[in-house]
Structure 1
């Protein structure tokens, strides 16, 4: 396991062994991959969740692929989970392949357009809020897509986004462990960028 920091991903001495911490009461955590495997970089969230299936995660952590199923994800978010991590591509104006971790604000006063044809993480959260109670902790792990790649029909991600998949797997795995114990911090991080942008 590697620690997520404000500067990036760095090595730490401890490793998650899959065992139970006697001081930690396990919580239900949903890790949801969002996207479309046929639209290039849109496959990012799906691929991250698929690779996480080979990792040891805390009991109570559920990995789900919601490819093209934004409404189903909205219903899942009100299904009694204590915390959730949504993994997707989100354009935030950074360099392609950059990774971000941020906590959306699902307060009642927020305005989120319900664009059913484009179920982005914020749109899904907005819909879920109308359906019931959201998890007490929500995090989005997002990758900056490459330009117009989201509009292109392709079974392959662009190189920068593909290179961000494995770092994202490490980030999500650590966050899942922290959320399982209720210790994940609640601030925004720019956690990783491809080597050519450093």
Structure 2
């Protein structure tokens, strides 16, 4: 099983750098990541992520901030509906995961890689963190910084379950990733 863990976000907008920080911590401990799992810090390079996904992955695990109206630092595990990407706006300077997957859908068809995003990535999960602050600034807020280690552990648990072949459907879009 090929799994890509992608840290997404803008480190110049406070808590939006959460995904990049989680990816950096995972990359700093390469022995903790199984061989079939790739970790990338995508940051705001959504077009790069879409092209990378053309290589084909069974699972994309996006790590990003996610507004779910919970307390800052709360973690959520969401499953993305690949069919819901058609209307996402393309912005090469700050693409949302929806926009990346919409671009991937078109790229897969245009390059002959497949009929759409589902042909190049089987499942998309999002490990999201409720942000406290998204205004311009460098550094994570205290509650989001405190959630980074738990998010690294949550990535490990999700990857382990995926590699073990466990069928763990995300029952609702606010399931806490613990």
CA distance in 1, matches of 2:4, 2:74: 23
Structure 2: which 5+ residue stretches go unaligned?
Answer: 109-118
Q: 2:176 — aligned with what?
A: 190
SS of the residue corresponding to residue 101 of structure 1 reads strand
Over the aligned positions, Cα root-mean-square deviation in angstroms equals: 1.8
- Matching residue within 46, 65, 88 for 1:113: 88
**With structure 2 as the length reference, what TM-score do the two structures score?**
0.83
Across the two proteins, how many residue pairs are aligned to each other?
A: 162
SS of the residue corresponding to residue 142 of structure 1 reads strand
Report which of the two has the higher share of helix.
Answer: 2
The answer to whether 1:151 aligns with 2:135 is: yes
Residues 172 and 185 from structure 1, CA distance in 2 versus in 1: closer, same or farther, beyond 3 angstroms?
Answer: same
CA distance in 1, matches of 2:164, 2:144: 30
| Runs of at least 4 residues off by over 6 Å | none
CA distance in 2, matches of 1:101, 1:52: 18
Q: 1:47 — aligned with what?
A: 21
CA distance in 1, matches of 2:167, 2:55: 21
Structure 1: which 5+ residue stretches go unaligned?
Answer: 1-26, 193-198
Structure with the greater alpha carbon radius of gyration: 1
Q: 1:45 deviation in Å?
A: 0.2
Q: 1:84 deviation in Å?
A: 1.2
CA contact (8 A) 1:99 1:143 kept: yes
CA deviation profile, 1:127-169 (whole Å, cap 9, x unmatched) = 21222233112110001111xx2122x2211111111111100
